[in-house]
Chains A and B, each alone.
Chain A
Amino acid sequence: MRSSHRLALAGVAAAALLAAGCSSSGSSGGSSSGTNWSTETSASAGGGMSALVAAAKKEGTLNVIALPPTWANYGNILSAFTAKYGIKINSALPDGSSQQEVNAIKSENGTAKAPDVVDVGQAVALANTSLFAPYEVATWSSIPTAQKESTGLWVEDYGGYMAVGYSSSYGTITSLNDLLGPKFKGAVALNGNPTSANAALNGVMMASLAEGGSVGSISQGVDFFKKLKAAGNFNPVQATGATIKAGTTKVVFNWDYLNLPSYVGVSNWKVFIPQNAVLGGYYAQAINKNAPHPAAARLWEEFLYSQAADGGQNLWLQGGARPVEQQAMQSNGTIDKTAAAKLPAVTGTPVFLSSSQNTNAANYLAANWAKAVS
């Protein structure tokens, strides 16, 4: 390479490096007077709820991410929050996965667009605690110990049981083995790929439980889907409202709150949870350590965990999801009884995957899923 070429390339590289080296001033945000809410670990420590509300209103905006409006009633939750406190909500990436939420925290770090709070699956929450800020909501004691991190880095918020939704044109389905029959040709689908999507992995695990397995191993579930594929009943597309409406996927494995007719978008939709295969999964809330709107973020958490009639917990219940404080609310009578009565009936004890069981299942799927359904 001629020396003049080298010189020019060096020049361009230097310019790029200079641009890279320009230090970015971190987002200065935050309140000018008094409390720095980004380090407060509870409302009382920061001066009480009214101080929190005032600080949040001053910030005026909240950045949320990956909250589809028809998912567990999030649409109403977002508008209720804005109506109550007058804080504008920027809702980004409504269809993002939990991993994408965390990626966004990392890539948008220091900008005004970074997510303030995230609602992620268990595995992602556990893997990313270094990004979160500890915070204990006012109703901390109502949340079971097993469903929160001890300092509040992540706290479970709502969940459901894995169910099978299906078009009512099939009559009533009572057992998974019915799905192997000839009238379900090309009809059964998962909500995503089990090596990637939490809901799909739990769908396969639920099938495993229904076929007599235990949470320790997902192999029976994979075998079930292998049989389904061999019978020609397995449809490899991702089930969405559009595929259901078009009649492409008439049977869908998904969380029960995502198998509601209102979420799915068709009226003739039924749900069943197989006997003794009650697999539960909860999502978790976390606050971004470097949230551009720390007070609004914490107020949002207070709102979500509030047991009031118009608070987050009851709103989630109205969306068909089971709020984490359900037991406490049933004891102290704050629960919305009508909504609670509408939850699908279950026979059997609910089980939940621990993180190691989750990892084992994921690894098994990574090695065997593609072979089973191809």
Chain B
Amino acid sequence: MAAVTSVGETPAPAAASRPRGMHASRKRRLNAFRYVVFTLFGLFFLLPMLAMLRFSLEGAKLGTWSGAAWKQIASYQGEGVPPLISSIEITLELAVITSVVTLVLLVPTMIWVRLRVQWLARTMEFLSLLPLTIPAIVLVVGLGPIYNRIQHYSLSSLMLFWIYVILALPYAYRSLSAGLSAIDVPTLSEAARSLGASWFTVMVRVIVPNMRQAILNALLLTCSLVLGEFTIAFLLLYNNLSVELYSISRNTPNAGVIFSTSTAALAFAFVLLLILSYAGRARRGRR
């Protein structure tokens, strides 16, 4: 049965666990549906990427090809701007710190709210949407005094994590919420408690393992947010990967560099997230 699901997917292990019962005709319709969907969406998402790639390889005269825009990213040594490697390091560190803090802050709180403090649920939902409501350009106005104070303690760009956690909040919350609603949290926790588990055990060893996909998705969204975040870092005068790439594209008179830097950033993020998605599933054995 697995052999029919889709080309290029690993067959046997998961298939054995999938109970039979799908009628052959429905299976065929499902697969046709999947092929059509993947093709159409694939085209929609790939074409703009290809356009950007094409312009990144454009020479000085339209119609010629040249790898200059890509070489200039690596060879860039700007005046007054730190090198690319350090900004990559900082952004990766920021991604890790932000993800950890976001998950540690959100997961226990959301489980707790679902279990014991349901009346706070709507408030949490509204709070989680607030960061998206205020455009970054105005949020910076409000953040000014706070970051001014933070900068008296540390000038490091890593201090961006405080606001990045807030920015990741909407996405992480929604993903975790979807995961939580798919499992019966009260029953699971009652069962565990009745067997003598502490709250910590209930959360870490009972509920969280059932939320793997949701947590992974929240992680993906948070990391990708940090990797691509530009406006707030830019307006607060910090230097992260996106700001650095933007500086490079503004510092080199070759207009193709803005395309090569964007494509490079996206490719970098994609590879990273792909690795992450493999790590997330590594321990799946029997389901």
Contacts and interface: CB of A to CB of B under 8 A. Distances in A.
Nearest to B54: A246
Interface in B57-86: 58, 60-62, 78-81
B79 A92 contact: no
Interface string B231-252: 0001111000000001100110
B146 to A, nearest CB: 9
B254 A82 contact: no
Nearest to A22: B149
B255 interface: yes
Range, interface on chain B: 20 to 34
Contacts of B255: 240-242, 244-246, 265-266
Interface in A77-110: 78-79, 82, 88-95, 100, 104, 106-110
A111 interface: yes
A90 B155 CA distance: 13
Interface string B132-164: 000000001100110111011001000000000
A88 B79 CA distance: 9
B173 interface: no
Contacts of B258: 241-242
Contacts of A22: 149
Chain B at the A interface: mostly helix, strand, loop or mixed?
helix
A339 B132 CA distance: 50
Given A69-B250, A245-B58, A64 B152 contact: no
B235 to A, nearest CB: 7
B55 interface: yes
A111 B253 contact: no
A91 B237 CA distance: 10
B170 interface: no
A69 B79 contact: yes
Interface residues of A, number: 44
Contact of A91 (B80, B152, B253): B80
B68 to A, nearest CB: 12
Interface in A226-270: 240-242, 244-247, 262-263, 265-267
A94 B237 contact: no
A148 interface: no
A146 to B, nearest CB: 33
Contacts of A266: 60, 255
Contacts of A94: 246-247, 250-251
Nearest to A26: B152
B253 A263 contact: yes
A367 B235 CA distance: 29
B253 A246 contact: no
A79 B234 CA distance: 23
Contacts of A245: 55, 58, 62, 255-256
B78 to A, nearest CB: 8
A49 B254 CA distance: 39
A112 interface: yes
In the complex, the 6 A-B pairs of residues with the closest C-beta atoms, listed nearest first: A107-B144, A91-B80, A241-B255, A245-B255, A89-B80, A111-B151
19 contacts: A20-B145, A24-B149, A65-B237, A69-B78, A69-B250, A70-B251, A82-B79, A92-B237, A94-B246, A95-B246, A104-B237, A107-B140, A108-B151, A111-B152, A111-B155, A242-B255, A246-B55, A263-B253, A266-B255
